[in-house]
Amino acid sequence: MHEFTTLLAFEWEAPSWTEDLVRWVSLQGASLILWTTGALLAARFVQWLVHRITDHIDGAFTESDAIVRSETLKHRHSVAQVIAWIACVVIYAIAFVSVLRNLGLPVTGIVAPATVIGAAIGFGAQRIVQDLLAGFFIIAEKQYAFGDTVNLTLTGAITTEGTVEDVTLRVTQLRSNDGEMVTVPNGQIMKATNLSKDWARAVVDVPVPVGADLSRINDILQEVGHATFLDRRMNKLLFDEPSPMGVTRLELDTVTVRMVARTLPGKQFEVGRDLRRRIVSAFARAGIARLPDNHETENSLGGTS
């Protein structure tokens, strides 16, 4: 009997906040979980949807001209990433406001403090705003896009070069020739050189002995260019037939003859390697003296302005 009385007293004196906690969890708590989970799922769905739409539209370009398809796909990839990023920000912002309302916090009451805090953050985060604006114009003006090879000059005359792997409103990510991932804030980019815009140029400098017959050298290079253009595999990478440009450098014991070819974006290196291989073989068959071991070769790129 004494134990029963003690138990009743304990139950009578139990704090009322437990009931409030249970009620809050069953109402506001469930709503918070739903909003948070819904925001995460919605963000994932947006990313999936953008990816599917991009793949679907890309299928329409399978029969298009290679250069048009290349530029279109690169720009569309960058735009899709930005759309997904903006959509996710909007989703999270709506979820955040809804969570505040469920917590009983007046949203209108925090507008003034939020404005002051936003102004302070904006003053201290000018670089972030600068990055976002620069990223917007990079994408809107199609300065470069996913898959392009670019050379970026940054603040302080620092340069970096690589293949664009990601472009967002805030940063550009490059994959360097060494395989390193370089992340560059868009606001720090002072000059962007697109090495694969519209078309590229393979440039091969061929050093030959001073006493060589330049007319014969020119004929051999023309034959190499014609054979390269007729090659089924190389023809898909070329806009026109590779051709010799004449003498570009005269030294004490060598004369440098240049050969150029217009190629698809990013294919100038492959075309240049193939031309060098064909030139060496053609010179060997023609009995022309072996190229010097210390000869220099050059790759340069060009594009429509």
The rounded Cα 244 to chain-centroid distance in angstroms is 34
Name 256's bridge partners: 207, 249
Q: Give the domains, in start order, of the chain with CATH numbers.
A: 20-124 (1.10.287), 146-194 (2.30.30.60), 200-286 (3.30.70.100)
Cα–Cα dist 295/254, whole Å: 9
Cα–Cα dist 107/57, whole Å: 41
Q: Which residues of the chain have pLDDT under 50?
A: 1-2, 4-14, 63-65, 67-68, 291-305
- Predicted local distance difference test score (pLDDT) of residue 63: 47
Residue 242 phi, psi (nearest 5): -60, 140
- Predicted local distance difference test score (pLDDT) of residue 275: 94
- Predicted local distance difference test score (pLDDT) of residue 197: 76
Q: How many C-alpha atoms does 3 have within 13 Å on its Cβ side?
A: 0
Encoded tokens for 136:
């917007």
Q: How many C-alpha atoms does 75 have within 13 Å on its Cβ side?
A: 16
Cα–Cα dist 238/267, whole Å: 9
Q: At a CB cut-off of 8 Å and minimum separation 6, what does 19 contact?
A: none
Residue 14 phi, psi (nearest 5): -60, 140
Q: Helix, strand or coil for residue 160?
A: strand
For the question of whether the overall pTM of this predicted structure is more than 0.85, the answer is no
Interval 150-169: pLDDT, tens: 899 998 888 998 888 888 88
The owner of tokens 């759309």 is: 83
- Predicted local distance difference test score (pLDDT) of residue 65: 47
Q: Are 259 and 221 in contact (CB under 8 A)?
A: yes
DSSP state of 26: I
Q: Helix, strand or coil for residue 106?
A: coil
